[in-house]
Amino acid sequence: MITSTSGFRVRFGAVLACFLILPQFLLSCAGSSARIDPEAAVYNLAPVARAASSPSEGVYYCVFVRSFADSDGDGVGDFKGLTAKLDYLNDGKNETVADLGVTGIWLMPMFPSQSYHGYNVDDYYAVNPEYGSMEDFETFLAEADRRGISVIIDMTCNHSSTYTDWFISSRDPESPYRDWYRWISPDDSRYNLKQKIWGHNLWNKYKDSYYAGLFESGMPDFNLANPAVREEFKKITSFWMDKGVDGFRFDAAGHVFNAAKLASGEESQSQGVAFWKELVGHIRAENPEAYTVGEVWDSTGTRAVYMQGLGSTFHFDLGTRIVDMIRTGDGGRNNLANTLFADYETYREFNPDYVDAPFLTNHDQNRISGMLKGDPAQLKLSASLYLFAEGVPFIYYGEEIGLMGAKPDEQIRTPMLWNDPGKDRLQTSWIESKYNRNTIPVARQNRDKDSLLNYYRRAVRAKTAHPALYRGRLSPFDTGISSIVSWKMSDSAQTAYVFHNVSSESVALSLPFGPEYSLVFATYAETRANPDGTITLPPRGSAVFADSVKE
């Protein structure tokens, strides 16, 4: 056992004995009532009163429709299947515990496309017919809304497919759509026609001209300097908001004015920020509560710059930091908390109202379960480290059951596992996973109170129940123990303290607060108060303390 010598010792012998000072209360739903006991939720999966309600609060869940749930038996997921599984994500009832409890869904591309992934869009005003009809999609939105789930959809503004009417028309030099894409002539000395990016040619020849395809030749880049294109994306976002969409995840947001496709001497970053300010400004004018988050796979400084326009960006590199720290079992001098705080300070310089979007891995990265070799304790710790950080965390579908996968991309986007083979009629089967032979499906994890899935259910409930956790700002404090990562979360209504033991040994530490703080979440029941006023945190365990919510 490791013991703190940091001098944080305070009177705390009775804190855990009295646990929560929040009152118990009754919730009624559809004529039935269930007592919600906050104390019961400290160590166990139990009903809680979830308070996060804005689209820019709570916890999101990323869904690849193709892999999630199949209603018609063709092997491909669809909107009807997704709708049928909404109660798994959130049934809209505080008094139940069978749902994951997420407050939002990010749908990966659901437009018509020639590809399985959908990031090369054929038509921005329609849904992928493999996934169902527009009516099916609208039904899904209505059912999500009924459960209090916000829905944001993937929007690709950087490029389309080569099958859009716009691009097909633009191939004619005399077309009014010519300037909708980045076409250049071979004698334009401002561009390098031999430019390569990520191993392929940036410029693609068509007859006597070249067009930019930053990601591939089948994804021609829009010319977002053209006001007509910018206006079109305003129309597109309005169209989907009118359908009931609550916001957008913007793909490749940092690349819309990538320097590689611009004329020499043309400024890149400022044009990108200006574009996002204009588009997001339009979205917020129509719906001030809309949540927009951008993929800016770059440094903290670059993400911060784009926060000016996007408002929220994904926290790339956080997952890698978490994995590295868990593997070593050493938090340094509270390195993760200090790094997070430094990142947030940088964001704040550019946008005081920024919203961070932490995640472990996404649809472009090897899955976290494989990185941590499926170790349940390490996976639970990794979940706590990002779910209890600042901002709106994103769970990649299947992460909560330990779904595995590694590159190529298809193998990190494989079917969600609902039950043992043949036991769930909604199981998708469009591709076979190479990595999930031993992954435990949802149905079996439901029956194990200590499963990874039930841990996620508990952690998500804690996150969405406490304003300090879902709305607060993070500041680090050092316990003096290298294996403890700790921070404070502060909101005008509440303050919380978060502790993580990243080592394989139990740790006793003193607590920097008095009895007004109560334990609201712990990974393990062995998290107990000691007679000397310390708390013992088991290996790979996390604990969260919070004061009462101010009116």
Q: What is the DSSP string of 391-402?
A: S--EEETTGGGT
Share of the chain above pLDDT 90, in %: 87
Q: Round to whole Å and give the CA distance between 380 and 357.
A: 19
Active-site entry in 91, 95, 251, 400: 251
| Contact of 497 with 545, CB cutoff 8 Å | yes
The catalytically annotated residue of 221, 246, 295, 356 is 295
Q: Is 180 helix (H, G, I), strand (E, B) or coil?
A: helix
Q: Residue 92: phi, psi to the nearest 5? A: 80, 10
Residue 36, pLDDT score: 58
Task: For 22-52, write each residue's pLDDT tens digit.
Answer: 333 223 333 333 345 767 888 899 888 888 8
Q: Could you tell me if 496 and 520 are in contact, meaning their C-beta atoms sit under 8 angstroms apart?
A: yes
Closest CA to 244 of 138, 388, 348: 138
Please report where in the chains the tokens 């010792």 appear, as a residue. 9
Q: For residue 253, what is the DSSP state?
A: G
**Active site annotation includes 172:** no
- CA-to-CA distance for 63 and 118, rounded, in angstroms? 13
Please give the CATH number for the structural domain made up of 165-212: 3.90.400.10
Give Dmax (Cα) for the chain.
83
Residue with tokens 């829009």: 222
- Provide the CB-side half-sphere exposure for 27 (13 A, CA): 16
H or E stretch at 152 = strand 150-155
**Per-residue pLDDT, 38:** 67
Cβ(275)–Cβ(230) under 8 Å?
A: yes
The strand pairing partners of 239, in sequence order, are none
Distances (CA, A) of 202 to 173, 198, 257, 319, 413: 20, 9, 14, 30, 27
Sheet strand arrangement including 203-206: 183-184, 209-212, 203-206
Predicted structure pTM score: 0.93
Return the CA Rg of the chain.
24
- CA atoms within a 13 Å half-sphere pointing along the CA-CB vector of 242: 8
Do the Cβ atoms of 442 and 402 come closer than 8 Å? no
Cα(320)–Cα(322) distance, integer angstroms: 5
Q: Which residues of the chain have pLDDT under 50?
A: 1-35
Q: Quick check: 126 and 137 in contact, CB under 8 A?
A: no
Give catalytic status of residue 95 as yes or no. Answer: no
Q: How many CB atoms lie within 10 A of CB 279?
A: 24
pLDDT for res 88 = 99
What pLDDT sits at residue 50? 82
What's 365's DSSP letter? S
C-alpha–C-alpha distance, residues 505 and 172, integer Å: 68
